[in-house]
């Protein structure tokens, strides 16, 4: 679909596909219907609030990683559940969170003890939880492993304070990253083995994120088995908080070739940057797909694609094409709705890509454009004088 309107799109530009987003949401809603679980949008992956009214038609709410995401959910999805977790909360954050969140998950018992009186005296019925660390995961990329040795995330069994559970109604674990449900099933068994005696005291349990539910090869039946295991054994409400699965394959980053240089190989300089606009390419790292491209030397013309910053390592990868690339050619990166707009930056003063939507009727619209003021506003105040 996007190839038909490629020349209508100003570059650089993220484009969100309304049809694909809806398709993902319908699948997630079907899981809620089959299991009576509750699925939450993890805003850390996708916070484009223009789509929150659409998302709220299908799933139960959102989860935030801090005060600003929680405020965003409260503003744009006010009738849905609003959960929040952070490694630690400030007193100022908690003053606001108790007014807008229905579930607050703490990373430690010391955090729970610090804030529990404020929660109990806030005049609202807030569900509080503790994040547990089962010390088990199958994540290969260590930077994303919350259960690695020495991790700051969650309470291990040896550190669990079972005499401090008054007021705690749920447990939360997050052990996965872009994984299938066989990993979840193995994890569920270990969580049950280690923490089952505490789960039976709870009203709810949250399986966290990292579930690639909307991926083509995802095993839905094993996910359902994992959910029903805890429901049937303990009678708890099960929550899932996928981020990527909400908008997986529901967006592109459209770019233009600015120049071709040669140093051992041909290098195409683009108006998008791995460092600024798709940081997971360097952080994960991974090689994003490009429409109508191939692996190096698979097609007749191979290029290294590079960003327009001063970072020497601002390269996206090597790709091959049927025709030589020329200045002005459009390249379309796939699966760019997630961990892009929420993580991008203005290093070097590079302008952020616009954000657009490919509507269900095939029409393209710009939602947001960025410029100099978006770079400047982060760095100082025009009213301050030394």
Asked if residue 31 is part of any domain, the answer here is no
Domain co-membership, 82 together with 114: yes
What is the pLDDT, as a whole number, of residue 163? 97
Indicate the residue among 204, 220, 247 that finishes a domain.
Answer: 247
Domain co-membership, 287 together with 141: no
Q: Which spans in 235-279 are helix H?
A: 244-247, 274-277
pTM to 2 decimal places: 0.95
264 class by beta-carbon count within 10 Å (0-12 exposed, 13-18 middle, 19+ buried): exposed
The whole-angstrom separation of Cα 321 and Cα 293 is 5
Domain co-membership, 257 together with 198: no
Domain co-membership, 213 together with 266: no
- pLDDT tens per residue, range 166-188: 999 999 999 999 999 999 999 99
CB 16 within 8 A of CB 340: no
Asked if residue 382 is part of any domain, the answer here is no
CA–CA–CA angle 280, 295, 218 (5° rounding): 60
Domain co-membership, 102 together with 152: yes
Question: What is the domain-level CATH number for residue 272?
Answer: 2.40.37.10
Domain co-membership, 217 together with 74: yes
Domain co-membership, 58 together with 173: yes
pLDDT at 4 over 90: no
pLDDT at 3 over 90: no
Half-sphere exposure of 262 (CA within 13 A, CB side): 3
Indicate the residue among 228, 247, 266 that finishes a domain.
Answer: 247
Domain co-membership, 202 together with 144: yes
352 or 141, higher pLDDT: 352
Structure tokens at 49: 């609030």
Domain interval for residue 300: 2-15+251-336+344-376
CB 344 within 8 A of CB 277: yes
Structure tokens at 31: 């899981």
Q: Which of 263, 352, 353, 354 is nearest to 312 (CA)?
A: 263
Q: How many folded domains does the chain comprise?
A: 2
Residue 84 Cα to chain centre, angstroms: 14
Q: Are strands 330-334 and 103-106 parallel, antiparallel or unpaired?
A: unpaired
What is the pLDDT, as a whole number, of residue 63? 98
Domain co-membership, 230 together with 215: yes
- pLDDT tens per residue, range 206-262: 999 999 999 999 999 999 999 999 999 999 999 999 999 999 999 999 999 999 999
The whole-angstrom separation of Cα 108 and Cα 113 is 9
Backbone dihedral angles phi then psi of residue 57, each to the nearest 5 degrees: -70, -20
- pLDDT tens per residue, range 38-84: 999 999 999 999 999 999 999 999 999 999 999 999 999 999 999 99
Indicate the residue among 199, 217, 247 that finishes a domain.
Answer: 247
Asked if residue 27 is part of any domain, the answer here is no
Domain co-membership, 220 together with 95: yes
Asked if residue 23 is part of any domain, the answer here is no
CA distances from 137 to 96, 149, 210, 297, 372 (A): 33, 11, 11, 37, 43
The stretch 99-105 carries a mean pLDDT of: 98
Q: Which spans in the chain are helix H?
A: 18-35, 52-56, 67-76, 91-100, 109-120, 181-199, 220-234, 244-247, 274-277, 280-283, 372-376
Domain co-membership, 241 together with 259: no
Domain co-membership, 117 together with 137: yes
What confidence tier does 382 reach under pLDDT thresholds 50, 70, 90? confident
Question: What is the domain-level CATH number for residue 100?
Answer: 3.20.20.10
Average per-residue pLDDT for the chain: 97
């Amino acid at each position: 679909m996007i190839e038909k309107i490629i020349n209508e799109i100003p570059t650089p530009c993220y484009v969100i596909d309304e049809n694909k987003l809806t398709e993902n949401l319908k699948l997630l809603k079907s899981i809620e219907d089959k299991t009576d679980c509750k699925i939450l949008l993890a805003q850390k992956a996708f916070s484009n609030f223009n789509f929150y009214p659409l998302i709220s038609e299908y799933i139960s709410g959102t989860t935030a990683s801090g005060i600003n995401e929680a405020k965003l959910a409260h503003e744009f999805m006010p009738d849905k559940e609003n959960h929040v977790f952070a490694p630690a909360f400030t007193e100022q954050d908690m003053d606001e969170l108790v007014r807008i969140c229905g579930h607050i998950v703490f990373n430690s018992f010391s955090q729970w003890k610090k804030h529990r009186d404020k929660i109990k005296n806030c005049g609202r019925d807030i569900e509080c939880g503790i994040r547990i660390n089962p010390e088990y995961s199958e994540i290969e990329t260590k930077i994303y492993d919350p259960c690695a040795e020495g991790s700051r995330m969650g309470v291990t069994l040896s550190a669990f304070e079972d005499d401090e559970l008054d007021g705690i109604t749920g447990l939360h674990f997050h052990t996965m990253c872009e994984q299938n449900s066989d990993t979840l099933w193995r994890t569920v068994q270990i969580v049950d083995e280690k923490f089952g005696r505490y789960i039976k005291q709870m009203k709810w349990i949250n399986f966290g994120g990292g579930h690639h539910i909307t991926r083509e090869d995802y095993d839905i039946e094993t996910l359902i088995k994992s959910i029903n295991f805890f429901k049937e054994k303990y009678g708890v409400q099960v929550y899932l908080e996928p981020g990527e699965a909400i908008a997986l394959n529901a967006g592109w980053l459209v770019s233009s070739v600015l120049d071709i240089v040669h140093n051992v190989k041909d290098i195409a300089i683009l108006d998008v940057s791995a460092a600024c606009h798709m940081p997971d390419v360097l952080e994960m790292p991974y090689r994003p797909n490009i429409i109508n491209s191939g692996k190096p030397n698979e097609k007749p013309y191979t290029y290294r694609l590079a960003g327009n910053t001063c970072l020497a390592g601002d390269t996206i990868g090597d790709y091959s094409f049927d025709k030589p690339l020329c200045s002005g050619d459009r390249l379309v990166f796939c699966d760019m709705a997630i961990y892009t707009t929420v993580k991008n930056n203005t290093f070097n003063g590079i302008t952020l890509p616009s954000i657009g939507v490919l509507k269900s009727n095939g029409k393209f619209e710009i939602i947001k454009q960025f410029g100099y003021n978006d770079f400047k506003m982060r760095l100082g105040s025009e009213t301050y004088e030394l």
